[in-house]
Amino acid sequence: MNYLLDANTFIEAKNRYYSMSICPGYWQWILQSNAQAGVASIGFIKDELTNGNDELAQWAKDNPHLFIANDDQPTQIAYTQVVQHVMTLTQMKNGAQAEFLRGADPWLIAKAMTTGAKIVTHEKLDRNIKRKILIPNVCEHFRVEYIDTFELLHELEAQFVMVPAA
C-alpha cells in the first residue's frame, strides 16, 4: 500500500464534501484506488467507522478488503516505538497520551512506518499544541509523510466527471 487513510478522511468526506448520496463516485474511486494505487486503511480504523449506525459504517462493513491488519511483527515493533515516543511528550495535558494510545492513530503511524505509506489525514502539524497529540506531530518525529485528502486526489489525478442526465 502507498496511502493509509485516517478515520477523519472518511468521516469528513461523508459529512461534508463527498456525501455518499451526492458524490458516490468518490467512494467508488477509493475502492478503485485501493486496487490500482494502494489506497487503504487499517483494521482499527474500520472498527472506529463501523461503531456507528450510518451509511459509512455499512460501507466499511461492505468493503473489508480496504482495511489491512496490524498484527504483523514489524508493525508491532513500530507501534512500540510510537508508544515510547508518545510517553516522552511530557508537555502534554494530563491524559493526552492515554487518549492518543487508546485509538487507531498510533497503529496507523506504525503501519506507515513499516510500509513506507503516506498517511492521509485532515490533522495539521502544530508543534505548540498541548491538549492533544496529533498524527502529523508524531509523523514528523518518525519521518513519515502525511497529506490531506485533497493532496491525495491531486497526486492520484482523480477526476469526478458528471454524466449527462438521460
CATH of the domain at 27: 3.40.50.1010
Q: 24-46 burial, b if ≥16 CB within 10 A, otherwise e?
A: ebbbebbeebbeebebbbbbbbb
Strands 118-120 and 3-5: parallel
pLDDT tens-digit map of 9-68: 999 999 998 999 999 999 999 999 999 999 999 999 999 999 989 999 999 999 999 999
Tell me the pLDDT band of 1, cut-offs 50, 70 and 90: low
Question: Identity (one letter) of the amino acid at 111?
Answer: K
The whole-number pLDDT of residue 106 equals 98
Domain membership of residue 160 (yes or no) is: no
Query: Domain range for residue 120?
Result: 3-155
End-to-end CA distance of the chain: 38
Q: Is the pLDDT of residue 133 over 80?
A: yes
Domain membership of residue 57 (yes or no) is: yes
Domain membership of residue 53 (yes or no) is: yes
Contact 72, 114 (CB under 8 A): yes
Q: Residue count of the chain, please give it.
A: 166
Looking at the whole model, is its pTM more than 0.85?
yes
The whole-number pLDDT of residue 72 equals 95
Domain membership of residue 44 (yes or no) is: yes
Tell me the pLDDT band of 104, cut-offs 50, 70 and 90: very high
